Amino acid sequence: MLQLQIECHRDDVEELSDFLEETGALSITFTDKYDDPILEPELGTTPLWSNVIIQALYEKQEDAEHASSAFNTQYPKFLTSLAAVPEEDWERVWMTQFTPLQFGRRLWIVPSWITPPDPNACNLILDPGLAFGTGTHPTTSLCLTWLDNAELVDKRVVDYGCGSGILALAAIKLGAKHVYAVDIDEQALMASRNNAEMNQVPSELISVCFPDELQLKTDLIMANILLTPLLSLKMRFYHVLEKEGMLVVSGILVDQTQELIEAYQDCFKHESTTTREEWALVTFKAI
């Protein structure tokens, strides 16, 4: 295997990747040159960083060399490099990147191909896949740790913006009476259903639905989503929660917490703020 690497601006990505596809590349991937974050993309968009590295993979040396020569002739201004990629068992390498993770005292997130370290713990089986959420991001970790410390018995819990369904399923494992995995994305709902089935969660304990289908009062809302949607969802959260119900939000940066607290203060009492790296988890009680 050989890899042709090209440094470019995001405005050039579509044209260059089309050219590489025509040269017979097995795969084309995009990575960020400078590790700049994309924090709040517009809904329905697939944003790229300002400075992008394109990596095109070729099986045969002659194909890679031909592609490199053709590219440099057609686009001489771009910096390129061609290098051999070591032969690996890529599935095995990928699988070794994921290990069981513990959150709090009781909760473990365990890939399906690994035996749980503690069979008596609350083990949630979850693989990387269709939607965001395997516990590795600081905001997800904050939410899971909070859930592990919470009293969830007989509680109805909403995972709003459920992604993989990780928070809803963790709540069930930790004793919740019923959970609602809610998202605007059909792919997220599909992932949540699949993960519930993998964890043998009875259908009567979990409802997977779009936001408009959530029409009842609940005891706790977990919302691991970004600031902009959080600001717009205040009244929806308020009407879904019982009086003195808990709202736990993450997905926001530490320097965004004050804006959120002030925006919510007419409907919610700020209870606590917990931080990890540059991210925050904020808890509220409905008033």
The DSSP call for residue 89 is: -
Give the neighbor-by-neighbor strand order of the sheet with 156-160. Answer: 206-209, 178-182, 156-160, 218-224, 241-253, 279-286, 268-276
For the chain, what's the residue count? 287
From first to last of its 287 residues, the chain has per-residue pLDDT tens of: 899 999 999 889 889 999 999 999 998 888 876 654 434 434 444 455 778 889 999 989 999 999 999 999 999 999 999 999 876 665 666 677 678 999 999 999 999 999 999 999 999 999 865 444 556 789 999 999 999 999 999 999 999 999 999 999 999 999 999 999 999 999 899 999 999 999 999 999 999 999 999 989 999 999 999 999 999 999 999 999 999 999 999 999 999 999 999 999 999 999 999 999 999 999 999 99
Torsion of CA 141, 144, 146, 148, to 10 degrees: -140
Burial class of 142 by CB neighbour count within 10 A (0 to 12, 13 to 18, 19+): buried
> Is 251 within any annotated ligand binding site?
no
- Whole-model pTM over 0.85: no
> Is 11 within any annotated ligand binding site?
no
Q: Are 122 and 107 spatial neighbours (Cβ–Cβ below 8 Å)? A: yes
Per-residue pLDDT at 4: 95
Per-residue pLDDT at 130: 43
> Is 224 within any annotated ligand binding site?
yes
Per-residue pLDDT at 132: 46
Domains in the chain: ranges and CATH: 2-87 (3.30.70.120), 94-286 (3.40.50.150)
> Is 44 within any annotated ligand binding site?
no
- Distance in angstroms (rounded) separating the CA atoms of residues 89 and 94: 9
DSSP element (H, E) containing 229: helix 227-232
